[in-house]
Structure formats: structure tokens, C-alpha cells
Amino acid sequence: MTFKEQIQQGIPSVLPQPKQYETSINHAPKRKEILTDEEKKLALQNALRYFEPKHHAELVPEFKNELETYGRIYMYRFRPDYEMKARPISEYPGKSEQAKAIMLMIQNNLDYAVAQHPHELITYGGNGAVFSNWAQYLLTMKYLSEMTEEQTLVMYSGHPMGLFPSHKEAPRVVVTNGMVIPNYSKPDDWERMNALGVSQYGQMTAGSYMYIGPQGIVHGTTITVLNGFRKIKKSPSGGLFVTSGLGGMSGAQPKAGTIAGCVTVCAEVNPKITKIRHEQGWIHEIIEDLNALVTRVKTALESKEVVSIAYLGNVVDVWEKFDQENLHIDLGSDQTSLHNPWAGGYYPTGFTFEESNEMMANNPEQFKVEVQKTLRRHAAAINKHTDKGTYFFDYGNAFLLEASRAGADVMNPNPTLGREFKYPSYVQDIMGPMCFDYGFGPFRWVCASGNPEDLAKTDKIACDVLEEMMKNSPIEIQQQMADNIQWIKGAQENKLVVGSQARILYADAEGRVKIAEAFNEAIANGEIGYVVLGRDHHDVSGTDSPYRETSNIYDGSRFTSDMAIHNVIGDSFRGATWVSIHNGGGVGWGEVINGGFGMVLDGSTEASKRLEMMLFWDVNNGISRRSWARNEGAVFAIKRAMENQPLLKVTLPNIVEEGLLDF
């Protein structure tokens, strides 16, 4: 069968032969056993409903074995034989070009070079899934190949509920992930529902088909590192940045440190993912010995070398060793998947990677004890460095939250609302006031042709637009404009592409609209092929996350999620090609609600109208909320937006006179 025929086939009527478990692939750890015997039968019933009854007897023992061995039913047998990667849009079968673009994005999320655990359909974050099993993938791709522009595909946590009649202006796909009743958002609730096959953790851009590999966060991390050094009034040259995590999003950190121009040490316990990042060029060197690491870092700092070093081991050992050696760390953070601390997101020190995985699966209570013990040591070591002048920030991975739950010394001795922890979230001190409040956030695009020449052309188009805008931009956003122009000019030489021909930069609503309009015009003129627009949910208005995206909201509303819900509703009727809303993300199940979109540009006048209407809302919804919280930058930004768009009328806050409430 050809690739197109395999897509159109969906779930095969004749069972394929069982697949051999490939040990060379980076696999998800075994999930803890959480189902009762009755629930295990229910999980099997749920899995078997994808298949004709004549196949059930053969599949029952196989699926039962997967559930017992891995804690999930992945249906490995049904994993396709074709190479999993984003193909040029022309290679996909279908009646809708928009649907073909979505197939491209789904396959990119599962590309072996992109996905963290590709055979388990997990893109990043340890549990950020595109689908829960391979039957869902096959059925979804079949539906997309059949879809017309008078239909919408409805996705329930990885399950394709079906194609429903709609209209041309409606989204082609509407995605929800993990949208459970609020009282059932504890970690074990996810474990149980995921094992039953009825809900999944979509992370942010995994389950919404908009992940573009580590590049997706390289830009934001670069901006964070640059502004971190600006905060301590030091040049990155000759400076040291220490962090951990080389998995999905976290793999961006060493590349960002290199672009910023410092020495980066990033610890990782998983040898497979460390090897992959080294082969991809995202890290320069791998060191396994702490003494050798100290010597190498000292040499690099003395010569002001720009180098990224992966330490294959636990980051706690690095913090403690550098303290013993009195090796000064300028910037420190952590980007392990602590939203998922009990299922592979964070590993205890004192055990090998294999020992930890065994404990996680077979003695989860002891694993939790060891993780929390390590978190206390981790925080204690960080505290020693910050006492010596290190600037440490929480990278929105729930490090401080989980450390506090473990009893670590991370609480602010003089807490205020929103500043309960000893250290700030990077959004509180850097990304929030410097970027999000002014409307600057991640703007992504993917060249659907798969042609690197198209990407180079879009880079130039975006750069030209930003340079022209900067001539008349207000002083308040000059730094943001300059950083992004520098970024896009260096994008090609920094070799950021992993998987699809994609790019990211930070732009405000005006910048996003103008860049998108320029792309659409270039498509109409035949200069480039179709372009898929999107963003990370980590943005101005896509996400309500009290310890990350909205951590610099101090009016008491940071635990509400009206903004994220309205974001997706508004994007839906303003022209998005697909929309998604998730419970969970980088900080954990039950800790965040986040929404995203995808939009296909085809060069039409209709696309031009949609992009202007939708992108304007997608940003200014969040600026409005931030201005109502009395954030100065957001008040400035929304007033400017109202001046430029007479139809925009936003309720502005009145500021209480200082001293009036002193009672």
C-alpha cells in the first residue's frame, strides 16, 4: 500500500503482525499500577471498542500484557510501518488543504527527532501525548483524509469522536485534553483515567499538534537568559548558567545559552535523550565525571568560551559539587518535568537511571520519598549558591511548588500575595513585565511545503517587517523589537530546525498580523507555499497558570481561567483552523488551563481577513486581563491598541491613591 492508501485505510480490517519492542527507542517509563481488577477489565473493554469483535479474542491477551507491563494500552501492533515525519502538504490524501496541514502537524509531533517517547505517542514533558494509543492516531488520520470544508472533527482527549457537519468558516478540528471535573484533577486521577483510556495529558503543544521541537522554547529561553544577565548587570560572556533537563522543551536550554553567549551546564539523567541532543547539535559536550566537569567549566569561564555542556547525572550533585569547589554560578534554574514528579519527570539522586525506573514502577511510595528527599537537597544546595550571589528563577516547571510540598526551604520569610516563594518565577521578573504585558509572545509558523528555501524566505519577510516596524515603535518596546530582529537574523546559522521547517519569534499583535499578512501575500504571489501559523500556549493570553504564565497577576485572579477559555472561544469564531483547550501543561494536571490554535494561510483574501481578526483578539484578550490587574506595561499596551483600533473598547482600572488604604 502507498502512504496515502495507508492513511485512508485507518484501522485495518486485517490485523497487522505484532511489532517487536524496539529497545533503541527512548520509551516512556512504566506507569504505576493504579487500576483495580474491575477497572483493568474496563480498560480492556475501552481499548477493544476500536476493533471489530472478530479480533477481540486475539487482542485481549496482548492488550492485557501491555497494561500489566507498561501501565497503559498503547496498541504497539498498530504502529504504522511508514516513516513518521512531516511530509510536504502535497503528499497527504484529502479533500481539504486545511486538513492536510493538520495531518502534517500531527506527524511532526510524532517524528522520532522531535518526540520524546514516539512509540508511546508522547511528544514531550514525560506525559505530553498526541494520542493515548495507535488506534486513535489511525482513525484521526483517516477522518482528516475524508474531511470536507463543511465538516469539523471533534477530539476528546486523543479520541476522535467523529466528523460533524459545520461550515467553511468553522474550525476544522476542535481539541480538548484532560478537561475533567475540577474535583478530579489530582495526579492519581490522571493516572487512573489515562490507564482507562478515557483522558490524556496534552501538555501544551503536544495534544494540540503545534510542537516544533526544542526550537519552540529556544527563543523564549534565550530572551530569559539575556534578560537574566541584564538583571544582574553582567554580560553573558564569561558567565555561567546552570540548569537541568534535556527532554522535550527543556532540551532548548543549552542552545539558548549558546545563543546568549554564556557557559551552560545542563544536567540530565537519561543517557538516550542526552545522546540525541548531542547528535542534534543542541549540546557541545557530554561529561559524566564531576571533577572533570569542574575543570572544564573553570577553563571555559577563564577563556570566556561559549560552550554548552551536558552533565550525564543528577543536577543536585552538580549544585553541591560547585558549592564545594566555590565555583560561582551567575544564573540558575531547573526545567525537569516536575509537573509529573512521580512518573519520570524528576529523578532522585543516589540511584542509577534504571534503579529509579524500577522503583517508580514497583515501589512508587518509596520513589516518592526519595524524590522529595532529593528536592530538599536540591533546594538546600541552591540556597547556598544564592547566598553567594547566584540569581535563581523557577522556570515554570513546578520546581518551587513541588519543593515546597516536599518541605524544602523555598518559602519567602516575608510573603506577599503572589510572592509566596523565596525565588521568583521567570514570568514574574522577566517574561511577564518585559514581554507578556506588552503583548510580546511566541509566534510560530511552519512551511507546509517542507522546503527549507521557503523557511529562508519567511525568515527574511519577518525580519523586514520587524525592522520597518521598529522605525516607529515606542521606546517601551524597543528592546523587545531589537532582540527579535537579532534572533531572526541568526536563526539560519543557529540551525534550529528539528522536524518540520518551522520558526518562532516573539511578536506583539501588530507584529503577528503584519508578518502573517506578508506571508499570505507571498503565498498569493506564488513565492512560497502554504504556511501554518500557531503559537506556544505559553503566551500573553493562551494560558491561566498561577505559578507560571499568570504569576505576575497580583489582583487575586491568578487562580481563575476565564482568560484561557475565552481565548479559545474567541479564536474559534474569528477564523482559527483548529483550536485546543487543555487541563495541565508544564506545571501539572489540575494546576493550569491552557489553549492554543493553528491557522492555515493559503494566500486567499479570506485568510487575510481571518488572520487579522483572530490574531488581534488572541493577543489583546490577554493584555486586557493583565491591564485590569493593574500591570503598568499592559495598561500602556491596551491604550495603544485602542488608539489603533477604534472598535476596541476595554475597561481600564482606576488606581487607588497610595496611602489611602493604610489602616
Of 54-58, 167-171, 253-257, 584-588, the poorest mean pLDDT is in: 584-588
Q: If DSSP codes are grouped into helix, strand and coil, which group holds residue 632? A: helix
Element (H, E) at 161: strand 159-165
Known binder of ligand: residue 268?
yes
The amino acid occupying position 450 is G
**pLDDT at residue 249, rounded to an integer:** 64
Of the listed ranges 48-62, 237-251, 279-293, 475-489, the one predicted with least confidence? 237-251
pLDDT reading at 585 higher than 90: no
Cell of 57: 479474542
What's the rounded mean pLDDT across residues 532-537? 95
For the stretch 624-657, pLDDT in tens is: 999 999 999 999 999 999 999 999 999 999 999 9
Residues 364/342, Cβ–Cβ less than 8 Å? yes
Quick check: helix, strand or coil at residue 579? strand
Give a three-class secondary structure readout of 227-266: HHHHHCCCCCCCCEEEEECCCCHHHHHHHHHHHHCCEEEE
Cell numbers at residue 204, please? 501544551
The set of cell numbers assigned to 458 is: 519567511
pLDDT per position as a tens digit, 293-346: 999 999 999 999 999 999 999 999 999 999 999 999 999 999 898 888 988 889
The number of angstroms, rounded, from the C-alpha of 311 to the middle of its chain's C-alpha atoms is 23
CATH superfamily for 3-196 is Urocanase superfamily (3.40.1770.10)
- What average pLDDT does the segment 87-111 reach? 97
Distance CA 579, CA 556 (A): 28
Q: What percent of the chain has a predicted confidence (pLDDT) above 90?
A: 83
Lowest average pLDDT, out of 210-219, 360-369, 429-438, goes to 210-219
Per-residue pLDDT averaged across 236-258, rounded?
Answer: 88
What is the pLDDT confidence band of residue 175, given thresholds at 50, 70 and 90? very high
Of the candidates 99, 199, 91, which has an alpha carbon nearest to the alpha carbon of residue 145?
A: 99
Cα–Cα distance measured from residue 427 to residue 436, given in angstroms and rounded to the nearest whole number: 8
| Domain ranges across the chain | 3-196, 214-424, 432-646
Helix (H) or strand (E) holding 134, with range, is helix 134-146
Contact, 155 vs 176, CB < 8 A?
A: yes
**Residue 471 · residue 513 · CB < 8 Å:** no
Residue 4 has pLDDT above 90, yes or no: yes
pLDDT (0 to 100) of residue 491: 86
Q: Is 344 left (phi over 0), alpha (psi -120 to 50) or beta?
A: left
Tell me the pLDDT of the chain averaged across its residues. 94
Which whole number is the average pLDDT over 457-475?
96
Is it the case that residue 39 has pLDDT exceeding 90? yes
Q: Do 509 and 638 form a contact (C-beta atoms < 8 A)? A: no
3-state secondary structure of 108: helix
Q: Which three-class secondary structure state does DSSP give residue 167?
A: coil
Residue 577: closest CA among 604, 600, 594: 600
Half-sphere exposure for 570 (CA within 13 Å, toward CB): 21
pLDDT number for residue 214: 77
For residue 490, say whether it is annotated as part of any ligand binding site: no
Q: How many CB atoms lie within 10 A of CB 383?
A: 19
Q: pLDDT value at position 396? A: 79
- Cell numbers 500557531 label which residue? 534
395 is an annotated ligand-binding site residue: yes
Cα gap 562→547, rounded to integer Å: 16
Q: How large is the average pLDDT for residues 450-471? A: 96
Q: State the pTM of this model.
A: 0.90
Does residue 250 have a pLDDT over 70? Answer: no
Q: What is the pLDDT of residues 384-399, one digit of tens each?
A: 999 999 999 998 788 9
Q: Over 70: is that where the pLDDT of 592 sits?
A: yes
Mapping DSSP to helix (H, G, I), strand (E, B) and coil, where does residue 128 land?
A: strand
126 is in an annotated binding site: yes
Q: Rounded mean pLDDT of 342-368?
A: 93
Average pLDDT over every residue of 126-133: 94
Give the mean pLDDT of 206-229: 89
Provide the pairing of β-strand 122-124 with 128-129: antiparallel
* 388: three-class secondary structure by DSSP: coil
586 annotated ligand binder: yes
- Predicted local distance difference test score (pLDDT) of residue 425: 87
Higher pLDDT among residues 214 and 470, named by residue:
470
DSSP state of 127: T
Of 402 and 213, the one with more pLDDT: 402
What's the order of all strands across the beta sheet hosting 331-332?
Answer: 285-287, 307-312, 263-268, 240-244, 331-332, 391-392
Name the CATH architecture for the domain at 432-646: 3-Layer(aba) Sandwich (3.40)
User: What's the pLDDT at 587?
Assistant: 83
Mean pLDDT of 171-178: 98
**CATH 3.40.50.10730 corresponds to the domain 214-424:** yes
The mean pLDDT value for 148-163 works out to 98
* Cell numbers found for residue 397: 516547571
Q: What percentage of residues in the chain have a pLDDT greater than 70? A: 100
Confidence of residue 276 (pLDDT cuts 50, 70, 90): confident
Is the pLDDT assigned to residue 162 strictly greater than 90?
Answer: yes
**Mean pLDDT computed over 37-46:** 98
Phi, psi at 569, each rounded to 5°: -60, -45
**pLDDT confidence band for 361 (50 / 70 / 90):** confident
